[in-house]
Amino acid sequence: MRFKNCIISNEVNHAIKQVEKLLNVESSMIKELQSKNDWRFNSGTSGEVIVKLLEEREPISIFTYRPWNPFTKAVGYFDGKAIHISVKALESFDFERLCGLLLHEYAHYCGFNHANNFKSKEKSLYSVPYYLSDNITKWI
């Protein structure tokens, strides 16, 4: 088990089950990542990325938060201890986007980054967190 759901939410439970399936050596996501060797942001090779994603570690807790700024585009974050999902995102995200958000934040838990918090084409293509969240629909 990689996640500890601290939210009373069936949607989060369902998304966790799906993401757990993707974080498996036989998943279509992991098979695709095996052939991707153009990572940036100090991610490492495809093999190193896969090892970090599949490494057994303590389950990461998932909580919600209310953004202090009502105009923020932030939908979630990893604070070094837990994953926090904005209640706005939880209310509005479909299943795929919720799975993508969990994968994105889990990648941060595994040590991957994307420099600053401004999304770009480069980050979508070459950072592990954004690559996983932006391509989630291919794997579920």
DSSP code at position 74: -
Q: What is the pLDDT of residues 64-73, one digit of tens each?
A: 999 888 777 7
- Cα separation, 79 vs 57, in Å, equals 16
Q: The whole model's pTM is what?
A: 0.95
DSSP code at position 68: S
Backbone phi, psi, residue 112, to 5°:
-90, 150
Q: What is the pLDDT of residues 121-135, one digit of tens each?
A: 999 999 999 999 999
Q: Return the CATH fold of 3-139.
A: Collagenase (Catalytic Domain) (3.40.390)
Extents of the domains making up the chain: 3-139
Residue corresponding to tokens 């980050």: 123
- When pLDDT is averaged across residues 92-99 and rounded to a whole number, the result is 96
